[in-house]
Structure 1
């Protein structure tokens, strides 16, 4: 998309000949941006008269302009890291997985004993075996090099013998509380690590140096810009490395001011939490030494359970397809409440990973001391939230609604989860799960994200999943279509909903005067699609131009104001 009067820090920009989504059922012809803020929206002629001298003009060619996407839960640095490592997201058999590993090792020779990392496999997609990969499988292709390979969910990993030896794992190793180490019939570790035991095998992976971390982050920023994502809530800060991670973000965002970052910070013990709190940083503060407001402290992030695919999500009843387990609780109720109480008292928002109905119930219980019922927005002044909120019944959702507990959901998960959820929890509970429309109707504050790199940070398939609830493979009928949402509701959840989650709804998420100039020019008018074309057309949409704070950070048809190279 061509524009005139190009310079790296434009005083003002006028986007005209556009269909600007300003608010629900309100579209405008043009948008005037001065500095990093929207000055006006309305008729192009009026905005031309109001434009300062030197304003550059962009012809949108009749295209839809929407607010920049704001991913309410992802792992941005990990998403960038996957570009450097063994990528198993597309493998559809154990044989293909092993061949992918073999090819990677041949292309990236490593000294014997080196431990390599990768992620993305999903045994539920395997067409040749109906089980997880094991150490014995990996040993066949990597007898001398260590492998630690995360399942797509990030809650289970498989390691080979070299990696387990490097981590000191033996048949006598006791898994961390809230974790599990698999064993074979002879009692030897079989390479499967789940939940809190992951830390024990991750010890074998060499630490990523600072230069590599910043390289990964730059790659992720480029992908975000290309995808129309202008803000993220990311969980990369965890444990005792939090200072270094925030410094990495501060450095890279100062060089490439293309994305607004809200950090979800994982401290799973009182000691780790206190180590952070003594810094004096609290939710909403600039996270780095430069004071860059594109790098902000967000909530404390905790985990209460695992994933549905790995059967580690905590259910209130045993799994329908494995009655020997009801999942894994990574924190006891007492531990959870203690961490939430300390964080809220210190002025730190919290958001908690909970997928199973048992886990969601525990989080609501922990939040009761800090919320009230039926007081509208005042029910939850700290804006405490739950990430995922997958397996629910109506009663759980109504408890969340009465206390205005935030739901940070990932509609894209329907692409996989609809193939397993009825087997895992039964059709009755499945029918009240992933209830996105119900959440809207009963008043739960909802935001959308991708959990990237669990799923791609690109938002378009996520939107299509929310609007149509159809799978993109197999031509299946919509799954519980009564829970489909409108295009407007989906965009709003991805923009204003995510802004609300970080107390920024007055400055982000709308294309209105006074709001930050974060926007996307789309190659498809999402509001004008025939019903029968929604799934494919929404999923196939692309960002023609992405703008963050008045800067063009991605432009497929002309120049941009930043250079990622």
Structure 2
């Protein structure tokens, strides 16, 4: 592991006064679609409306903030993040740019050389490789990784975080630590072998480096207008210690976004409660991913590769959901393929026969990704009150007629992936996220990707996508009072440098956007592909500033 680099703490942010009046801008609020001002008192929205009325209603001594035409919106919620991994990709070895095995090995050589020194004897850890974007999809061997790293252990996680590449030195360490998870002969690890390798990598992180990574990720999120992240911890990706340290960091440092923690361990309700998580949910794996050919599908992959069976049975899903429902915790699972969704839905329905459909719906359990859901599955999700935590960037990166989904599944099946419109129309609560570091933290880009889906008819309106990335994230965490700028709501918001605000026309065949004020709908920035996204000027969480642009 490289030595912890110098990373100065942020400049202390001035505490906001008890009462703050923001004026001379645009406030995205259902309470007043034409609002130009907002009053915040003791961390809550007290009023929204027009400038003149705001000045008249502001308490004596209120701090006045001239927005100078800026846009104020609810802060974004990223509903699926791996915070430590995201931070490591920001401060460590990110191999996304590699376009061949040779370039991947060059990146390892540079990392090993830059970290050279008597204290740098730990493994070289990196993430982000994606062979589907390479002209030659050959992966490097364990021996080649040994040579590139000078004999140090190497573990490089695939972009989807469901496969990895290990050097011979790493394989020997893994064989000693997890002999039952083998065989450990191949550099390319998937399934339980990859999960063991990911845990080994997390255990190798010094506490100081882990804290550095977590802080870097949360500070970066704040700079993008993200006021809250859902941390998807679990034994397949991190550890209880990692989650506990993250929750403690968020609670103690008031200059960071909120963190809502989930512990993804089957039967882990007691462990989740003990560490302060709000659910035994998230990345409890029912299957893997399409890119690594580990997603459980009803039919084989397009190249004839047999789809693996789901990792869990319906009975295991049922028992976990029953335990969580009775404990008052959210249950949830990672589900990508239609075969995995069949198992998850069957388990949820069996749980309903045990605890009753009413209590099950009241539990507001959730599924992550839900990429391959047909009309029947969507209807069952809605009936069971299950939220779907989805990642529009997946479609932007891998959708389309020639993308990775089409390569793996064939064009026809690929068109059925990520049916956001069908889920929203059925009443399924959608919460948008990045799955960072699988895709970068990029909230406006996610809203745009959900709006401009690669499959016509599968995307959301801009208003629905924005709501799913703000209020939807809070609703998916069973918190219904947040994510909207209205009197009584928490003052968690972002201020943006944005261009003209537009309203999406109801009939997309005629005109995508309108500036007609008669719509009575709050406007949003232009999300046309190629148009720069708004720049965040300030992020505020429950009345406290967590980011102020230089």
Tell me the SS of whatever aligns to 1:8: coil
Change (3 A) 1:36 1:100: same
TM superposition shift of 1:339? 2.3
Partner SS, residue 437 of structure 1: helix
Aligned to 2:70: 63
Decide which of 315, 334, 355 is 2:297's aligned counterpart: 315
Matches of 1:464 and 1:101 in 2, distance apart?
34
Is this contact kept in 2: 1:526–1:538, CA < 8 A? no
Q: 1:259·1:548 contact (CA, 8 Å) conserved in 2? A: yes
- Out of 111-120 and 337-346, give the one that drifted further: 111-120
**Change beyond 3 A, Cα 1:59–1:338:** same
> Is 2:487 the counterpart of 1:489?
no
Identify the residue that residue 372 of structure 2 maps to in structure 1: 391
1:72 paired to 2:79: yes
- 8 Å CA contact 2:112–2:150 kept in 1: the answer is no
Q: Distance in 2 between matches of 1:358 and 1:85?
A: 36
Cα 1:317–1:524 change in 2 (3 A) is same
**Counterpart Cα distance in 1 of 2:122 and 2:54:** 61
Cα distance in 2 for residues equivalent to 1:430 and 1:252: 39
| TM-score, normalised by the number of residues in structure 1 | 0.83
* SS of equivalent residue, structure 1 residue 535: coil
- Tell me, yes or no, if the aligned pair for 2:32 and 2:48 is still in contact at 8 Å: no
* CA distance, structure 2, for counterparts of residue 398 and residue 503 of structure 1: 21
1: distance between equivalents of 2:159 and 2:464? 28
Return the offset for 1:64: 2.1
User: Aligned runs of 1:343-358 on 2, under 5 Å?
Assistant: 343-358=324-339
TM-score, structure 2 normalization: 0.86
The equivalent residue for 2:248 is: 250
Matches for 1:27-46 after TM superposition, within 5 Å: 27-46=34-53
CA distance in 1, matches of 2:138, 2:469: 35
- Gap runs ≥5 in structure 2: 1-12, 504-510, 514-525
Match of 1:510 in 2: 484
State the superposition RMSD in angstroms.
2.8
State the Cα distance separating 1:389 from its structure 2 match: 0.7
Indicate the residue corresponding to 1:209 in structure 2: 206
The number of equivalent residue pairs is 510
Match of 2:548 among 539, 555, 558: 555
Check 1:275–1:221 CA distance in 2 against 1; reply closer, same or farther (3 A cut). Answer: closer
Give matches, 1:76-87, under 5 Å: 76-87=83-94
What's the counterpart of residue 458 of structure 1?
442
Alignment of structure 1 residues 405-424 onto 2, 5 Å: 405-418=386-399, 419-424=403-408
1:294-333: CA deviation from partner (whole Å, max 9, x where unpaired): xx63343311111111010110111122x23213532233
Conserved 8 A contact 1:465-1:535: no
Cα distance in 2 for residues equivalent to 1:146 and 1:110: 15
Q: Which of 332, 336, 348 in structure 2 is aligned with 1:367?
A: 348
8 Å contact from structure 1 (residues 463, 539) kept in 2: no
For residues 405 and 509 of structure 1, the distance between their equivalents in structure 2, rounded to whole angstroms, comes to: 19
Would the alpha carbon gap of residues 241 and 175 (structure 1) be closer, same or farther in structure 2, given more than 3 Å must change? closer
Aligned match of 1:474: none
2:168 to 161, 179, 182: 161
Q: Does 1:540 align with 2:533?
A: yes
Cα displacement string for residues 44-77 of structure 1 (whole angstroms, at most 9, x for unaligned residues) = 1111122122211222222221100011111122
2: CA distance between counterparts of 1:309 and 1:332? 23
The CA distance in 2 between the partners of 1:537 and 1:528, in whole Å, is: 16
